[in-house]
Amino acid sequence: MNTTWSLERGGQLQSDNSVRFTVWAPRATAPAVRVRTAAGDVDHPLAAVDGQPGVFTARIEGIGAGTDYWYVLGGGAPALPDPVSRWQPHGVHGASRVVDPASHTWTDAGWSGIRVDELVIYELHVGTFTPEGTFAAVIPRLANLRSLGVTAIEIMPVAQFPGDRNWGYDGVGLYAVQNTYGGPDGLRALVDAAHSVGLAVILDVVYNHVGPEGNYLDAFGPYFTEKYTTPWGRALNYDDADSDEVRRFVVDNALHWITEYHIDGLRLDAVHGIFDFSATHLLEEIADAVRTQAALLGRSVVVIGESDLNDPKLLRDQSEFGYGLDAQWSDDFHHAVHALFTRESNGYYVDFGTIDAIADALREPFVYDGRYSRYRRRRHGASSRGLPRRRFVVAIQNHDQVGNRAAGERLGSLLTLAQVRVATALLLLSPYVPLIFMGDEFGETNPFQYFVSHGDEQLVRAVREGRRAEFASFGWGESVPDPQDDATFARSKLDWSKATREPHSFVLALYRDLLALRRDEPLLRPDGATLSVSHGNPGWITLLRTPIPGVTSYVKPLVAVFNCSDSEACVPMPTTHQGWHLRLSTDASAYGGSGCATAFVSSAQSDAPRRLLEPATASVLHIAPWTASLYQAAAD
């Protein structure tokens, strides 16, 4: 009979309230576990496990959950935290603590997860999402996110990092939940609360590197390899000698989140930085393991990869020699929108900046599908044709695209209100899974900057210099805020008071109405329609959605019209015998526009007036600068 996976490494609470400690430490000479008791710290020798080279274990009686411990590896080396610690209450350098993973009384028995095509993702950073910066402080805002139309929150990494402020990508305790956010109990409570209001929880995890401060893995075993390099730190050893246990360390980590914390999805950070030439790639192994465990748990769990390779192999089934991930981030959509709207052409934006690029990104998620890239000075990517649109996640900004600007400016600071509205419409009327970065829904103008709180001054200097060097190609090298400064972190917190004030309330109204349309209109869902994209000068695009025979044939066609220019556009409308009626215009007064058009949004407003485009006048639409409108074929 199949049974679900359970974690075997680390400090495992036993049914008799003893604790079994198990660690992979092939570099240890005299391994022991040091346990803190009321009488003081006591060392207990660890015994080798037969058939598992480098694995040591011991069962200690008379202790339980809440016990602090370290590993002592011998040779006079200092005591170190557990690589598989579930909690580091005293930070990355302190003792590990035994956790009872069954201590939380879950209330989500009726929750079964979420499908990829149902996703509307809201990315948030726990530390800056609220003034308090904790898991507990997120919970009161969950119901509002659900009513907005969000179906999943995506939490930036929570694996223990040094200090109390960090994006999370400097995590070193991959299994330990950040102590300053609320630790394991806080994360479980947040996930349970999200499920209670109908929100899935996706967790951002980092398997391409481990942060520098508090990283003690080298003392235990060959976790790293010199064969490859990454921009963020040493490459993990996934295909060299002794790599089996390193792979297990990461695969177990993925399973631990979905099993012990009821996480509904994993977003794998920068998988192009995972180097593995094994016959079975690590990504394939993770996808298989997660899929198997989810089935045994009776839940749906999604695995989403972030990659800048434009490689469809990530999504193709194993039978087609792919890795079988459920979805992946696709950055070309963002780059195309950002470059045209801001007119920035530095760095990788040099490859975009035209209306053609946005139209191409609406036709296929990979604009660079093997064509030549000026930025890379080579051909880039491969075709995404044939892959369902629900398997691509797009955004007009996210933590990377905002925070990896020197000053962390958001679109709300870079664009006019009209441009923000059109960019929002492009995102939420696109044929892909939309990702909303926290605060976008009310046009937040506070920056989201890069911040750290390292304790090593030499590391702090290296981070400062590295940030300046990273942005040299963008011309931003001398204007980078100090990542270590408290003020950099404080500036990056959301200002929730803006949501009720104009013009931010206009943006919020537009998000709410567009998300309602996505929910209510079958043709607006990923893969819910046949798509046809047209575009022309000065900068207009039409995105026509027609029903799929036998699937959505009961629905009238929809056409979205975007004018991404400073001039009025004359747009050829698709032919229909019934004419078109307006469903929504970003120029409506409710969204801060001129009020020349009237929005018709949902069944709750079924008596609202509509503006008809009769067949005789529907051949050409005159649309104002920086405006987007959605029309539906009128009834017979």
Hey, what amino acid is at 66? G
Those residues with Cβ within 8 angstroms of residue 199's Cβ, 6 or more apart along the chain or in another chain:
142, 145, 146, 150, 151, 152, 153
Those residues with Cβ within 8 angstroms of residue 196's Cβ, 6 or more apart along the chain or in another chain:
107, 108
Burial class (CB in 10 A: 0-12, 13-18, 19+), 174: buried
Residue whose entry in the numeric block shows the structure tokens 């066609």? 557
Element (H, E) at 565: none
Which neighbouring-strand residues pair with 559?
544, 631
Vertex 512: Cα angle to 496 and 424 (nearest 5): 85
Overall size of the chain counted in residues: 636
Element (H, E) at 107: none
State the DSSP code for 392: E
Element (H, E) at 83: none
Element (H, E) at 292: helix 282-297
Catalytic annotation, residues: 269, 306
Residue closest to 300 by CA, chosen among 312, 291, 309, 287: 291
Name the CA dihedral angle for 24, 25, 26, 29, rounded to a multiple of 10 degrees.
-150
Contact 196, 109 (CB under 8 A): no
Read off the tokens for 34: 């040091």
Chain-centre distance for alpha carbon 52: 36
Distances (CA, A) of 243 to 6, 47, 172, 269, 634: 21, 22, 18, 20, 62
Distances (CA, A) of 371 to 184, 313, 375, 380, 381: 46, 17, 12, 6, 7
User: Where do the DSSP E strands lie in 255-362?
Assistant: 265-268, 302-305, 327-329
